[in-house]
Amino acid sequence: MAHPDPFGVDSSDDSDPSCGEPPPTATPGGGIRALPHAESVLAQLRARLTATTRVAVLSGAGISAASGVPTFRGGPDSLWEQERPQDLATPEAFHRDPDKVWRWYDWRRGLVAACRPNPGHAALVSLEALTADVTILTQNVDGLHQRAGSRRVIEYHGSLWTVRCTACGREARDERVPLPLPPRCGACGGLLRPGVVWFGEPIDPQVRREAADAAAGCDVFLVVGTSGVVHPAAGLAGIAKQAGARVAEFNLEPGGLGGWVDDFVPGGAETTLPQLLSAR
């Protein structure tokens, strides 16, 4: 079972039994529909979206890739002052050296602040004109869905732009870049921490309930730019499928959702989601 990922990208290299349910098992006869003609699948999906009232979207790092958001999984952005992200994004690291952890997060906030929503984010905003109820369940912490204009976003792994007091528990939005470090609570003066889910931490129970309710209550469930291996978020597709929803995956290649997926649309979300909205 994989950790929730504080970088807004999928991580499957560690195990934490406190972080969610076991992965779903593929249903008999399930599987991804072949795509000899992606255009026809997109047209059918758009027709279904037009006719439905409730849509849930599980988004991951893939939707933000075209915006230039670093993945922190290999490459030149993996190290910061010779430190690995996995060694900084933990409660233990923050307890040992909150100043170092905050300097890393402040650096990351600066990187993300320079990024802009891409056509994939914009397409999900446009989706709200087709159907009455659209809920974004994002594993990303970058805030790009909100900046694009999506009205209902559940941030499964928290947000880079939220801070929480380690003393009184007060949460607040703070989008200043750079932050005065280390940041202090305006209410009690306590040390603030980033409002993200770190390695080894459980997902907030209320967030899990809201996300599960959105998945169970939707008619169409879109999986966008996530490998489907990070639990408990990956289990949301199974919840939707078992409740009768149509599940469609938009990804560069099929992820780990197996038999829960009815339709697979290959390609970058910045291209395929706008195509979905314009399909006829």
130 or 115, higher pLDDT: 115
**Topology agreement, domain 1-17+31-68+117-157+203-280 and domain 70-114+159-196:** no
Express as a percent the part of the chain with pLDDT over 70: 82
Q: What is the pLDDT of residues 45-72, one digit of tens each?
A: 999 999 999 999 999 999 999 999 976 6
Q: What is the pLDDT of residue 131?
A: 87
Which one of 121, 145, 157, 231 is the catalytic residue? Answer: 157
Other C-beta atoms closer than 10 Å to the C-beta of 119 total: 20
Determine whether domain 1-17+31-68+117-157+203-280 maps to CATH 2.40.110.20. no
Beta strands in 181-245 (DSSP E): 192-196, 220-224
**Placement of tokens 């992200």 in the chain:** 85
Q: What is the pLDDT of residues 207-228, one digit of tens each?
A: 999 999 999 999 999 999 998 7
Q: What is the pLDDT of residues 190-200, one digit of tens each?
A: 999 999 999 99
Burial class (CB in 10 A: 0-12, 13-18, 19+), 274: middle
pLDDT exceeds cutoff 80 at 35: no
Q: Are strands 220-224 and 54-59 parallel, antiparallel or unpaired?
A: parallel
Could you state, in order of their start, the residue ranges of all structural domains in the chain?
1-17+31-68+117-157+203-280, 70-114+159-196
- Average pLDDT of the segment spanning 136-148: 97
| β-sheet bridge partners, residue 135 | 56
pTM equals: 0.84
- Average pLDDT of the segment spanning 149-167: 98
Which residue from 149, 207, 143 is spatially nearest to 177, judged by alpha carbons? 143
37 or 208, higher pLDDT: 208
Sequence-distant (6+) residues with CB within 8 A of 14 are: 2, 3, 86, 199
Express as a percent the part of the chain with pLDDT over 90: 70
User: Is 145 a residue of the active site?
Assistant: no
Q: What is the pLDDT of residue 72?
A: 60
Q: What is the pLDDT of residue 193?
A: 98
Distance CA 174, CA 12 (A): 30
Mean pLDDT score across all residues of the chain: 85
Q: What is the pLDDT of residue 95?
A: 97
Q: What is the DSSP letter of 259?
A: G
CATH homologous superfamily for 70-114+159-196? SIR2/SIRT2 'Small Domain' (3.30.1600.10)
Q: What is the pLDDT of residues 242-270, one digit of tens each?
A: 999 999 999 998 887 878 899 999 999 99
